[in-house]
């Protein structure tokens, strides 16, 4: 099974909630360890909604732990995505978008730099390295000073693909962190839903 590509993780990793989740270690300290804040929050919010989130002994309900650890693990995934995902993937939703942008903004020196990257990248195939070498050499020697659209798109798409498949282990780590974090966050909602269903059906029958 192949690890999800960065472009597949991008909708989650680049979302505003994912960026905000990186502050969870600090918020977790306030939620988990500051009992005064917990009791104040329970009076303002939880009591209003008649949800007993704080036990009489002052201990924190399990659901708060699920929320905290869910957001914390999700934040770890967001941090990995932030440092490991290439800016090209973050800015462009797919290779076609990168091609459209680069075709209008890139110059010959950018193409040469991309060809050098393809030749040295571990994720490129022998065919891609050979093609990149031919494009770079023909441009530098003046044989083909003006690159065809096909050659440019080959370079752009190859660069995008390589960067999209970089760091397999980190892609797996990001995917698992997102999945585990969201699963933990869903548990309190599922618990509340089951309680509501139980109350509803007990009154119905």
Using H for helix, E for strand and C for coil, what is the string for 19-50? HHHHHHHHHHHHHHHCHHHHHHHHHHHHCCCC
pLDDT at 33: 56
pLDDT at 178: 95
pTM of the model: 0.77
- The whole-angstrom separation of Cα 34 and Cα 65 is 14
> Do residues 86 and 6 make contact, with C-beta atoms less than 8 angstroms apart?
yes
Q: Read out DSSP for 87-121?
A: HHHHH-SSHHHHHHHHHHH--HHHHHHHHHHHHH-
pLDDT at 120: 93
Digit-by-digit pLDDT tens for the chain (205 residues) are 788 999 999 999 988 888 777 666 666 666 655 555 555 555 555 544 444 444 444 455 677 788 888 888 998 999 999 999 999 999 999 999 999 898 877 778 888 899 999 999 998 999 999 999 998 888 777 655 567 888 889 999 999 999 999 999 999 999 999 999 999 989 988 988 888 888 888 887 6
149 Cβ contact list (under 8 Å, min separation 6):
103
């Amino acid at each position: 099974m192949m690890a999800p590509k960065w472009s597949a993780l991008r909708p989650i990793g680049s979302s505003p909630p994912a960026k905000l989740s990186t502050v969870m270690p600090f918020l977790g300290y306030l939620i988990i360890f500051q009992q005064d804040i917990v009791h104040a929050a329970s009076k303002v919010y939880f009591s209003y909604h008649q949800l007993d989130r704080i036990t009489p002994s002052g201990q924190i309900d399990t659901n708060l732990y699920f929320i905290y650890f869910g957001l914390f693990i999700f934040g770890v995934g967001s941090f990995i995505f932030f440092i490991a995902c290439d800016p090209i993937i973050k800015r462009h939703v797919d290779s076609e978008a990168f091609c459209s942008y680069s075709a209008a903004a890139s110059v010959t020196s950018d193409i040469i730099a991309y060809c050098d990257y393809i030749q040295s990248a571990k994720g490129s195939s022998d065919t891609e390295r050979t093609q990149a070498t031919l494009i770079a050499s023909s441009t530098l020697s003046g044989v083909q000073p003006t690159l065809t659209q096909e050659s440019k798109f080959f370079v752009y798409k190859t660069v995008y693909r390589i960067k999209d498949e970089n760091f397999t282990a980190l892609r797996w780590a990001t995917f698992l962190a997102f999945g585990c974090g969201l699963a933990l966050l869903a548990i309190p909602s599922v618990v509340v839903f089951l309680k509501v269903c139980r109350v509803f059906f007990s009154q119905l029958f």
